[in-house]
A = this chain, B = another copy of it.
Amino acid sequence: MRVAVVGGTGDFGLALARRLAEAGDYVVIGSRDAERARTKAAEAGAAAGASNADAVGGVDLVVLAVKADAALPTAAELADAIDETPVLSVASELRFAGGGAYPSDESRSLAERTQELLHGPVAAGLHSLAAASLADGRSDGDALVCGDDGHAKELALELGAKVVTGRALDAGPLAGARALEGMTAVIVNLNRRYKGHAGVSVTGL
């Protein structure tokens, strides 16, 4: 698969790029800074580095791996460059307060709002994978993926299967991203409470 990782110089994007390159994918790391993208691509064993707009050309799947607060502006900015290429949304909006991490106050997921800005289909997933665990090898547990478009979801599942020790699982329609994104807050709280690197594994399938 040819994959562009937009925001691929960040902790999560870079770890993901590394795992995908290792699995044999043709990976292009995108960044606002093309020079930095090239340096990081060399480090990660990725095929190439480029500006975000150049990175998304000619790939099968674009992973939007910028931080949550940059996800919507970046999607809007890259919409024409991405055109109808499927996108995988991996970010989660979190809010931190005294009691821990809180899920977003928005009723709709970041993935659903990203979908409105793009011409092609959006799938969402990998929210339970921490950058720290992905940096050292495949993440423990399963990769949950959701989406309304069959082709985008298939690509996202194929990608997910390469980066976890468990399975990539089809979690249903894109609206399920409300839960998957919210689980990031739960995972952050579990990590704080139990001093771990939590992931999610689905039992009983």
Number of identical monomers bound together in the oligomeric complex = 2
Contact with B along A173-191 (1 / 0, CB 8 A): 1011011111101111110
Q: Kindly state the separation between the CA atoms of A103 and B205 in the bound complex, as whole angstroms.
A: 21
14 residue pairs A–B, Cβ–Cβ below 8 Å: A97-B173, A100-B173, A101-B172, A103-B179, A106-B107, A170-B189, A171-B189, A173-B189, A176-B185, A179-B186, A190-B202, A196-B204, A196-B205, A199-B202
Would you call A16 an interface residue if the criterion is a C-beta within 8 Å of the partner chain's C-beta atoms? Answer: no
A54: min CB distance to chain B, Å:
34
The yes or no answer to A200 lying at the interface (CB within 8 A) is yes
Which chain B residues lie closer than 8 Å to A197 at the CB level?
204
Residues from chain B with a CB closer than 8 A to the CB of A200 are 200-203
Segment at the B interface, from A22-30, A40-48, A63-71, A139-147 = A139-147
* Distance, CA A198 to CA B169, complexed state (A): 11
